[in-house]
Amino acid sequence: MTSNKHSIIIAIDGPAGSGKSTTARLVAQRLGFIYVDTGAMYRAVTLAWLREEKPEIDIFLNNLPDISLSRDSETQEQKTLLDGVDVSNAIRTSEVTEQVSYISSLKKVREKMVSLQRNIGIDHNVVMDGRDIGTAVFPNADVKIFMIADLKKRASRRLEEIQSKGIHQVPSLDELIQQMKDRDAFDSSREIDPLKMADDALLLDTSNLSIEDQATFIIDKVKSIIL
């Protein structure tokens, strides 16, 4: 007997600092879905490449590291594992941020990560955030959101986040603006699955919205399709 039941997929894409992860986390918490931060997976691959001292790229691609996700048993927060070891904090350094767009533009890296991401969606209701979730990972997602915000606003949000995490090297606002601009340009112009709004995504400009407003907007959309 076949079942019509399928998991519900909420895809949230957009440029750096547009509010994807904070919103996605809250939406997942309220709906009892799993939140998947796909950027963390690409960051973990990048960390492996840096730890191996930047081996020649073909050699690295032929022996990609093992990336997996687990959940904190109390908070359900995602833990990102590299060869079985939790690297959730180590992937947030500026060294990783500087190289992640390059590593994630590589075909073999994307194929491996996309396949892991699709597997999670097979038997879980998920809120997944990234750059290509609505266009490539789940083109049939139930709800697709493309989040944008003013560049300066995105950079100041990121600065606050870095400061609140107590990360040692705190960049200046201007440095962050430049880094985000460069990363967005690279991510949008790469050949494979670039950062791009899906034709059927809803555009959400978060420049003047609160996290609460953003979460409510998405939850209302989800309710309207499942009720």
- Contact residues toward ligand CDP (CB under 6 A) are 16-17, 21, 38-39, 42-43, 100-101, 104, 130-132, 183, 187
* Residue matched to tokens 């079942």: 3
**Cα–Cα distance list, 224 to 51, 59, 209 (Å):** 46, 48, 21
CB of 1 to ligand CDP, least distance (A): 35
Pick the closer one to ligand CDP by CB: 109 or 215: 109
CB of 225 to ligand CDP, least distance (A): 23
Residue with smallest beta-carbon separation from ligand CDP? 39
* Residue matched to tokens 């995602």: 78
Pick the closer one to ligand CDP by CB: 160 or 223: 160
112 neighbors 68 (Cβ within 8 angstroms): no
CB of 90 to ligand CDP, least distance (A): 13
CA 118 to chain centre: 14
Pick the closer one to ligand CDP by CB: 23 or 101: 101
Pick the closer one to ligand CDP by CB: 111 or 226: 111
* Cα–Cα distance for residue pair 86/121, rounded to 1 Å: 22
CB of 75 to ligand CDP, least distance (A): 19
Strands 78-82 and 67-71: antiparallel
* Cα–Cα distance for residue pair 201/163, rounded to 1 Å: 32
CB of 185 to ligand CDP, least distance (A): 11
23 neighbors 12 (Cβ within 8 angstroms): yes
Pick the closer one to ligand CDP by CB: 112 or 131: 131
71 neighbors 78 (Cβ within 8 angstroms): yes
CB of 9 to ligand CDP, least distance (A): 14
Pick the closer one to ligand CDP by CB: 119 or 226: 119
User: Which residues contact residue 115 at a Cβ distance below 8 angstroms, ignoring those fewer than 6 apart?
Assistant: none
